[in-house]
């Protein structure tokens, strides 16, 4: 123990750890200064920086890490992170528990930033797990060994199937069951498979070792907190429309929703173990056997199927889950074309930029003098931009409200969501919002016009 501490004290943080700190700090400063390009790309900056920093710290503490010692496994995790997360995106087509706003690019161009974002899920969770292990969190935990019975394994599989079916059949009431079904469904299968039995949670319980389980739960809470904290400040983000909890949120998440992150992490661990089986025992964990990897034909087939799956799911996300793209002033019907042209010559091309340049009377007058746009016209343009910028409402939805006679945030705040959604659907027949989404935007408008 003493020698390990001495080695950790002597090891320096790798260069990419310091680079990660610098990028993360630059991103935070960019948010404070309201730099739009930083706000749009903040998710990538924050999460990839965090992953690199966590890995660097793990290496400093114990002399080996996922990225430096098992770099191929790091890349495998990043690649398979996307189709694994897409399982939950596919479920969300039915659940409609979250949607994306201010997405920078449409499909298929938007698939690349989406891939880079979703590729952080498994590395983020498992680097956090590794960091907790390096700090020896829960190191002294032990339990009475479980006796695993075949009947218990069968019951677990049936429970997992029932959880998934209930969530999809009764999405409004049973949606939380999606965060746990894979644990009950697939961990018994990993336990029965000789190549992954040691890494399965049931196998660990059979040995009386709860440490991985506890660290995974804590890793889920940590990553869940970071997901929601960083998402709240970003421009491109997700918004939750969870039944019965639309009005009370921490950041963008209902408080009870944070309880879903620990079981989700367990699911990711189990799904990674399923991949280990098909890779003949080769996995990401340091304690796992090296294995020989998947047969080449199976690997090629799996990659081809995965790319097809990713493309289909992203097309579905584009159709059903993305509710707005990054708007420009040109996209907004409520701003005259001559005003848009003059603002464009001054470098003001997007609603957030217009809001920043007209945030005070002094700034508005200064912009009026630069562009030659009368102050009243700038105020009218500002109100249109303010509506489009409201919690990612976007140009398409702002234009729909414009056609309904709602041109200001204050007007939206006075609406009854149930009545408005019926009118709104006639204004946007191609991609109408749901009642939950309309409630989210009306609620945001009411908060925006209510003094704190």
Per residue in 249-283, pLDDT tens? 777 888 888 999 999 999 999 999 999 888 888 88
Which residues are paired to 237 by β-bridges?
A: 101
Reported as a single tens digit per residue, the pLDDT across 332-343 is 999 999 999 999
Please tell me the predicted confidence (pLDDT) of residue 194: 67
Peptide bond into 211 cis (omega under 30): no
Q: Per residue in 202-238, pLDDT tens?
A: 999 999 999 999 999 999 999 999 999 999 999 999 9
Global pTM reads: 0.94
- Round to whole Å and give the CA distance between 217 and 125: 10
The rounded distance, in Å, linking the Cα atoms of 347 and 358 is 13
Report percent pLDDT > 70 for the chain: 95
Structure confidence by residue, pLDDT tens digits, 150-192? 999 999 999 999 999 999 999 999 999 999 999 999 999 999 9
Cβ contact 128:215 at 8 Å: no
Task: State residue 343's pLDDT score.
Answer: 98
Q: Determine the Cα–Cα distance for residues 147 and 137; give it in Å rounded to an integer.
A: 26
User: 198: burial class by Cβ within 10 Å (0-12, 13-18, 19+)?
Assistant: buried
Looking at residues 5-16, what average pLDDT do you find? 80
- 410-418: long-range contacts (C-beta < 8 A, 24 or more apart)? 410/445, 410/449, 412/387, 412/441, 412/442, 412/445, 413/442, 413/445, 413/446, 413/448, 413/449, 415/442, 415/445, 417/442
Checking if the pLDDT of 9 tops 60, the result is yes
d(CA 352, CA 30): 14
* Confidence band, pLDDT 50/70/90 cuts, at residue 349: very high
pLDDT at position 290: 64
Q: Provide the pLDDT for residue 195.
A: 61
Distance separating the N- and C-terminal Cα atoms of the chain: 53
Asked whether residue 146 carries a pLDDT value surpassing 70, the answer given is yes
Does residue 350 come out as left (phi exceeding 0), alpha (psi in the -120 to 50 range) or beta? beta
Q: Check residue 258 and give its pLDDT.
A: 92
Q: Is the pLDDT of residue 307 over 80?
A: yes
CA separation for the pair 20, 229 (Å, rounded): 18
Phi then psi dihedrals of residue 220, to 5 deg: -65, -40
Q: 3-state DSSP: the chain helix, strand, coil percent, rounded to 5?
A: 70, 5, 30
Assess whether pLDDT exceeds 80 at residue 420: yes
For residue range 382-419, what is the model confidence (pLDDT) as tens digits? Answer: 999 999 999 999 999 999 999 999 999 999 999 999 99
> Over 90: is that where the pLDDT of 452 sits?
no
Q: Model confidence at 111, in pLDDT bands (50, 70, 90)? A: confident
Determine the pLDDT at residue 108. 76
pLDDT of 4: 57
DSSP 11-52: SPPPHHHHHHHHHHHHHHHHHHTT-HHHHHHHHHHHHHHHHH
What was the pLDDT predicted at 287?
A: 60
Contacts of residue 284, defined as CB under 8 A and 6 or more positions apart, other chains included, come to 66, 70, 73, 74, 76, 77, 126, 272
């Amino acid at each position: 123990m003493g020698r390990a501490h001495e080695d950790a004290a002597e090891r320096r943080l790798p260069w990419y750890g310091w680079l990660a700190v610098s990028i993360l700090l630059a991103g935070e400063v960019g948010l404070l200064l309201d730099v739009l390009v930083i706000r749009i790309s903040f998710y990538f900056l924050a999460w990839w920086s965090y992953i690199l920093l966590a890995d660097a710290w793990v290496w400093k503490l114990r002399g080996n890490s996922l990225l430096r010692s098992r770099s191929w496994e790091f890349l495998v995790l990043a690649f398979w992170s996307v189709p694994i997360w897409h399982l939950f995106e596919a479920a969300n087509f039915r659940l409609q528990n979250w949607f994306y706003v201010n997405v920078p690019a449409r499909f298929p161009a938007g698939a690349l930033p989406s891939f880079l974002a979703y590729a952080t899920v498994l590395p983020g969770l498992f680097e956090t797990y590794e960091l907790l292990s390096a700090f020896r969190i829960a190191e002294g935990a032990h339990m009475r060994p479980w006796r695993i019975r075949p009947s218990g394994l069968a019951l677990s599989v049936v429970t997992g199937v029932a959880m998934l079916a209930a969530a999809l059949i009764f999405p409004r009431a049973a949606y939380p069951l999606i965060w746990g079904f894979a644990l009950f469904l697939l961990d018994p299968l990993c336990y029965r498979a000789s190549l992954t039995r040691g890494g399965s949670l049931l196998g660990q319980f059979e040995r009386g070792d709860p440490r991985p389980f506890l660290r995974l739960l804590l890793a889920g809470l940590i990553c869940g907190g970071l997901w929601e904290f960083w998402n709240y400040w970003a421009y491109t983000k997700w918004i939750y429309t969870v039944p019965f909890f639309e009005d009370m949120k921490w950041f963008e998440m209902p408080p009870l929703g944070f309880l879903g992150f620990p079981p989700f992490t367990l699911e990711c661990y189990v799904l990674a173990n399923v991949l280990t089986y098909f890779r003949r025992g080769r996995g990401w964990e340091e304690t796992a056997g090296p294995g020989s990897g998947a047969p080449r034909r199976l690997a090629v087939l799996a990659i081809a199927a995965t790319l097809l799956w990713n493309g289909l799911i992203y097309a579905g996300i584009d159709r059903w889950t993305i509710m707005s793209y990054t708007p420009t002033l040109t996209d907004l019907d409520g701003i005259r074309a001559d005003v848009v042209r003059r603002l464009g010559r001054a470098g003001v091309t997007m609603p957030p930029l217009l809001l920043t340049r007209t945030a005070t009377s002094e700034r508005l007058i200064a912009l009026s003098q630069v562009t030659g746009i009368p102050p009243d016209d700038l105020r009218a343009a500002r109100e249109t931009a303010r509506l489009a910028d409201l919690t990612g409402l976007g140009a398409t939805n702002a234009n729909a409200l414009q056609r309904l006679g709602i041109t200001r945030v204050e007007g939206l705040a006075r609406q009854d969501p149930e009545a408005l959604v019926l009118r709104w659907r006639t204004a946007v027949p191609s991609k109408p919002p749901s009642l939950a989404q309309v409630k989210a935007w009306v609620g945001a408008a009411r908060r925006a016009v209510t003094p704190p």
